[in-house]
Amino acid sequence: MNKDSKIYVAGHRGMVGSAIWRALTAKGYTNLIGRTSAELDLKNQQAVKDFFNNEKPEVVFDAAARVGGILANSEYPYQFLMENLQIQNNLIDTAHIAEVKKFIFLGSSCIYPKLAPQPLREEYLLTGSLEPTNEWYALAKISGVKACEAIRKQFGKDFVSLMPTNLYGSHDNFDLKTSHVLPAMIRKFHEAKLNDNESVELWGSGTPLREFLHVEDMADAAVFALENKMPENLYNIGTGKDLTIKKLAELIQKVVGHKGDIIWDVSKPDGTPRKLMNIDKMKNAGWESSIELEEGIKLTYHWFLESTNDYKQVKY
């Protein structure tokens, strides 16, 4: 791929899309294009076709999606299914018609069955029932994976799907009502630190095991997929390592510098006991993550401080 090849990053303002944009820029790619949702409604098929006709991108990264936590998924199942189908179908089909050279589709580990064996292998897709709390989003993403696979199979085109584990990093969501566990903990420990190191209450027992990948590693994997011939249609992206939620909390508490107690509310649900990705296929292709969890948490906390009014109040 030439450094001046026109590359369209769909969802370039989001956590993943912005990380991919930074990674491409750092690698010397100079012809990047992006559109906000106000500038281009990806749910509008004709608008997407007009955009491709005018811009003629050679590469597309699909990091655009309607996302949200358990509450949003349960309250808006139709929107999570239909809007994600519309976004990805318009991008995939138009990219196919426009003869885009490479299409990289980004999804989520939630595509795998709720009770699939651990670690999760790519072959486990569609072998069991999904987790009910996010099945609508998962169904849309599975359709995207299969659409890319069908294009590879029928037309021999370079369409590939990357499924990351739990992501965190700069530009993450730190809203306590809608954020995921790692950024929520960063904010909770930070605010408790500012409030005379008051105790922090966390949900569950702390025993479930989870895997976390820094978004800069995710972006690096996406650029790797761009620059290399990927023989498979679907790859898991992760670290291959997990830890208990309790260990995660203690690590974040250490990085933030909170000195108070941690109280576990065991009346709250734990969720799935374990969720770990098998990353053998990506490793065999030649890519591995490089950011260790503690270093990634430090980077994320630093970004959080810089993006809030608390930065000057806290000695980092």
The residues annotated as belonging to the active site are: 137
Residue 165 known to bind ligand: yes
Do residues 213 and 288 touch, judged by C-beta distance below 8 A?
A: no
Residue 277 known to bind ligand: no
Residue 207 known to bind ligand: no
Residue 96 known to bind ligand: no
Q: Which string of b and e fits 227-246 if b means at least 16 CB within 10 Å?
A: eeebeebbbbbbbbebeebb
Q: How many CB atoms lie within 10 A of CB 3?
A: 11
Q: Going by C-beta distance under 8 Å and a sequence separation of 6 or more, which residues neighbour residue 263?
A: 199, 200, 201, 202
Can you say whether residue 117 is alpha, beta or left, with left for phi > 0 and alpha for psi between -120 and 50 degrees? beta
Residue 161 known to bind ligand: no
Residue 214 known to bind ligand: no
Residue 121 known to bind ligand: no
Residue 167 known to bind ligand: yes
d(CA 34, CA 12): 6
Residue 14 known to bind ligand: yes
d(CA 271, CA 96): 39
Annotation: binding site for substrate: 188, 203, 210, 270
Annotated binding site: 11-17, 106-109, 141, 164-167, 180, 188, 203, 210, 270
